[in-house]
Structure 1
């Protein structure tokens, strides 16, 4: 990218921001210092106005944070600039308001050779992706370096497993609807960390068919006089549309998340949607009448089809319901699970515990090479799904239980029962000490830790190493291309005394 193109990049960005402001949208800015709570606030006193000052400086980016923001040093302070890359020289605007410092990219002077024009026209407004301004090699390098730094106390990670086609991969999407200034229905995604709805027609990491379907739903809303739900007033009907796509089966689920169970013209609406998209295999209505950020409510009704879809992962078929947790990127999930089971070193005789088992995906896949699999999950609906999936695939050596996995393992240890391998795939918050101590009490030979948040994984690995385990392998997997997120699987082995 030359300087002339650079200038166009910044001007087009500014033009979009001005357009957003003219429509009453809150502009989030290109960059802020991490932890800055003053963003979007205005000075309310003359004193604040007097203390506020702004200056423009030229800086060079020296590195990236784990969130992909560029790092610069200014007067002894470490500042973070969104969309700035290592080695780039740029003009930035620094605003000082009391003790708060806000830094924004104003103009690129010397761009990185790894910088590319984002394919998504909503990239700088949405914030759902953070790395589209980097080429694929730079994204891979960023994620590898991030994992290498985090995992340094435990050894050298393997090269990250990347994706051949890093777009269109999400098998699950959810869209929100609202009204613009002209009272026209718009649909899209919330800007990151805000309730600013970005009107869009395509998300490049969504399944393309899913985006086509919600666009049709937006058009049908007009003809059926269906109003989008307004969180501020509590009025309106349609809150969200959740779509799940079976990447192998081609089956499609559409979930209409509504604020009231009274759906006028329901049958005609479903008929019109099916006519436009005969590929849809099931349609559900989910009622969420609570003042909550949760997408789905408790009440659910099937309007068409069987209420679930089926997809294939690692050679096994899985039923997926509206509330089921199923990995977002099945192409990369197969690589992730294959590596996890390879690390488990199964010979056909081992007892394997699948903690946080969900609908049973990794446990059932592991059952092909294990002697016995025990899946434990707190969510009752997920356990029922896991049992059904076990029967569907004719798996005889797996059992699934509803309950706390930590307590389950403590009870096993108390009864003198043993497990050879524990496979754990916790949420982003990682595991708590109670769970980890239960793993230690059970004393499995190997622990395979699958993580969607390597930061909390590092914390948990330190605990397990402290109590008798050593890390024998680390494999990062790029599950979410174009974003800063990366998954990592680690093998721990119990030390022999």
Structure 2
């Protein structure tokens, strides 16, 4: 983008863009705060991609601001707390691009679209390099050739706007207010087409969105999962009641408009909670699951299954993890936090034996089913706490050569890590969706007999601030029995 001094950026030329002032979000919680306008210069970026600027001796973190840029910002003050929003860029940086998404400044689901793809990758590399500095130099980040339309799962929330019109979209960042979105550049396009059809159907029928304040209405969310290889599609209606009036007409209409849909479900969530899916589930059409192929294996995916969001990058991530495990066909591998068995079953192709452990019984059932589906004979899956499982193995004198761990964003707790140390596998492969908590856990493992010997960052979620890292740890010589 060419530099334009002393001008507010023009809105996107995309016909869907409705924002005349793209930088200024109308956040009701901030309107009540004291605000002032200030001119600042950005000196760097936080790990979340926000611009760093100084103002009256305080550090501001400004979304959508790039290093070197001079800008006008709105500073909000509430007691000791200060935050800021970008109002106008005076001197744009050469790395700045026009966000291709019309909803970028309203939605908040993506945080980096105002940066070129090269700048995004550089930021994520610098983030990992900084965090992992105590352990060594990370490899160059594995990026995505086409960093759009990669999500195989989409989630749309429905409601009414102030004109009592049906809207569907995403919760604006840090709010419970729905930002109407007709399409999303990181969703699978087919999913957005289906949501638009559902929205149109609601407007011409008596189907009403659920109102959290009154407790009335029917449809809360629509969850769509797409098999990127199989092209199978699951549509899940999340409703406040199991009484689905006009159910047959809805299924018939949606199938007619989108014959590519292979299954539809009704999930009932009556709770006042931020958790999307409820406990009750009914199949409206099809078998209730879809299948997809990852790393040459077929996986069955249910509405509640955890399945990696970006399969293209997942294959790179898993490939690197298996490489770090150094499998020769003789090793016993423990897949902790195994979920539906994806990485464990991939490892089984090169390992002697795989033991998957997962606390969620539904996930374990899916893992066993996926093992049978792929004819895997050397993998077993167990329900339970992986830490306790490994402690019992150590007590019995059982050995494991490799532990592969892929914990949630919060990382692992000390109890789990101590169980890994007690078992003393030769190698640990740590897959992390939150490198900050991974660093904490790596420090513990280094203090207890392991050396970090490889760090590979992977850009699993382009256009967002998230970055994953897979790390190889090796048991120090002379450690253990």
The TM-score, its normalising length taken from structure 2, stands at 0.95
Identify the residue that residue 19 of structure 2 maps to in structure 1. 16
Contact 2:23 2:105 in 1 (8 A): no
Contact 1:191 1:197 in 2 (8 A): yes
Identify the residue that residue 175 of structure 2 maps to in structure 1. 194
Q: Is 1:236 matched with 2:217?
A: yes
Identify the residue that residue 27 of structure 1 maps to in structure 2. 26
Displacement, 1:455?
0.5
Identify the residue that residue 35 of structure 1 maps to in structure 2. none
Identify the residue that residue 443 of structure 1 maps to in structure 2. 424
What whole-Å deviation, never above 9, does each CA across 1:103-154 have from its counterpart, x for those lacking one? 2322212111110000000000000000000001100100000000000000
Which one of 282, 305, 315 corresponds to residue 286 of structure 2?
305
User: When the two structures are aligned, how many residues end up with a matched partner?
Assistant: 475
Identify the residue that residue 206 of structure 2 maps to in structure 1. 225
Which one of 449, 453, 471 corresponds to residue 452 of structure 2?
471
Q: Is 1:7 matched with 2:7?
A: yes
Which one of 29, 45, 68 corresponds to residue 49 of structure 2?
68
Identify the residue that residue 171 of structure 1 maps to in structure 2. 152
Which one of 188, 195, 202 corresponds to residue 214 of structure 1?
195
Displacement, 1:16?
2.6
Determine helix, strand or coil for the equivalent of 2:121: helix
Identify the residue that residue 366 of structure 1 maps to in structure 2. 347
Determine helix, strand or coil for the equivalent of 1:327: coil
Task: Give distance in 2, aligned partners of 1:53 and 1:20.
Answer: 16
Task: Give distance in 1, aligned partners of 2:262 and 2:237.
Answer: 14
Task: Give distance in 1, aligned partners of 2:278 and 2:342.
Answer: 24
For structure 2, list consecutive stretches of 5 or more residues without a partner in the other structure: none
Q: Is 1:453 matched with 2:443?
A: no
For structure 1, list consecutive stretches of 5 or more residues without a partner in the other structure: 30-38, 44-51
Displacement, 1:93?
3.2
What whole-Å deviation, never above 9, does each CA across 1:308-341 have from its counterpart, x for those lacking one? 0000000000000000000000000000000000
Displacement, 1:97?
4.6
Contact 2:233 2:261 in 1 (8 A): yes
Q: Is 1:54 matched with 2:44?
A: no
User: Mapping of 1:138-177 within 5 angstroms?
Assistant: 138-177=119-158
The 3 A distance-change label for structure 1 pair 12 and 135 is closer
- Greater CA drift, 91-100 or 451-460: 91-100
Task: Give distance in 1, aligned partners of 2:296 and 2:128.
Answer: 30
Task: Give distance in 2, aligned partners of 1:102 and 1:415.
Answer: 55
Displacement, 1:20?
12
Task: Give distance in 2, aligned partners of 1:95 and 1:328.
Answer: 36
Contact 2:48 2:465 in 1 (8 A): yes
Identify the residue that residue 467 of structure 2 maps to in structure 1. 486
Determine helix, strand or coil for the equivalent of 1:177: strand
Q: Is 1:396 matched with 2:377?
A: yes
Task: Give distance in 2, aligned partners of 1:307 and 1:484.
Answer: 33
Displacement, 1:307?
0.4
Q: Is 1:315 matched with 2:300?
A: no
Determine helix, strand or coil for the equivalent of 1:221: helix
Determine helix, strand or coil for the equivalent of 2:354: strand
Task: Give distance in 1, aligned partners of 2:336 and 2:359.
Answer: 10
Contact 2:404 2:431 in 1 (8 A): yes
Determine helix, strand or coil for the equivalent of 2:47: coil
Task: Give distance in 1, aligned partners of 2:11 and 2:20.
Answer: 10
Q: CA RMSD for the aligned pairs? A: 2.0
Task: Give distance in 2, aligned partners of 1:406 and 1:132.
Answer: 40
Determine helix, strand or coil for the equivalent of 1:40: helix
Contact 2:22 2:105 in 1 (8 A): no
Q: Is 1:347 matched with 2:328?
A: yes
The 3 A distance-change label for structure 1 pair 165 and 136 is same
The 3 A distance-change label for structure 1 pair 357 and 96 is closer
